[in-house]
Amino acid sequence: MTEVTHRRTDARRNHERVVAAARELFARHGLRVTVPEVAAHAGVGRATVYRSYPTKDDLVLAIAKDSFADLAAWTRTAVDTRTPLSAYVPELFARLARDRGLAEAFLDARLVPAADLLHLISGLVDTAKAAGEARTDLSALDLRVLLCGPARQLVALDEWDPDLWRRHGAMVVNALR
């Protein structure tokens, strides 16, 4: 019985190390990080990673879901407190700049659809429209194009300075007006 409990404790600890390593490496280097790199950073064998995550996409999805849950909670708070788009969008861009994996996942609908997050952001847009701070004809498609276009280019250009991302977020806010 003690041996089984010890194995479970080791397995849980190894799993936590894999998740922490993946989160750190994806945030710092993006989704190009390999499973062997995650395993090495966690101090475990590749088989340990594959036991919980049979494919790299499974690992990416697990980490991205957590990151998106945090981002969605922050966005819900922004909606509830009626945060102006002029404050929200530049900070959204800065958050994406600080987490390369999240930024890449945000743009890769195959891994994590951004539709739920964009729907939440639409609540901020509705408030901004009512206050005369956003175009009245702004659509969900417009929002997606205006948010994802600059983000996609910054990722493609390998630009990760949060101030630069924040600047482009401010430009998006101006386009929303």
Cα 112 to Cα 61, 136, 152: the distances in Å are 7, 29, 15
Q: What is the pTM of this model?
A: 0.82
**CATH, residue 31:** 1.10.10
Shared domain check, 14 and 76: no
Shared domain check, 100 and 34: no
Q: Residue 111 carries which DSSP code?
A: T
Shared domain check, 75 and 32: no
48: containing domain: 1-54
Choose the final residue of a domain: 54, 79, 97.
54
Q: CB-based contacts of 39: which residues, under 8 Å, 6+ apart? A: 18, 21, 45, 46, 48, 49
Which pLDDT value is given to residue 6?
Answer: 56
How crowded is residue 2: how many other Cβ atoms within 10 Å of its Cβ? 6
Shared domain check, 40 and 79: no
Which pLDDT value is given to residue 5?
Answer: 58
3 pLDDT above the threshold of 60: no
Shared domain check, 156 and 71: yes
Which pLDDT value is given to residue 110?
Answer: 59
Rounded Cα–Cα distance for residues 42 and 58 (Å): 17
Q: What is the pLDDT of residues 84-140, one digit of tens each?
A: 999 999 999 999 999 999 898 888 765 555 677 878 888 888 888 998 989 999 987
The pair phi, psi for residue 31, each rounded to 5°, is -80, 0
Total domains present in the chain: 2
Shared domain check, 67 and 40: no
Shared domain check, 107 and 95: yes
Shared domain check, 154 and 75: yes
CA angle 165, 156, 113 (to 5 degrees): 80
64: left (phi over 0), alpha (psi -120 to 50) or beta: alpha
How crowded is residue 8: how many other Cβ atoms within 10 Å of its Cβ? 10
154 pLDDT above the threshold of 70: yes
DSSP string covering 149-164: HHHHHHHHTT---HHH
Shared domain check, 78 and 153: yes
More confident call, 81 vs 114: 81
Which pLDDT value is given to residue 113?
Answer: 59
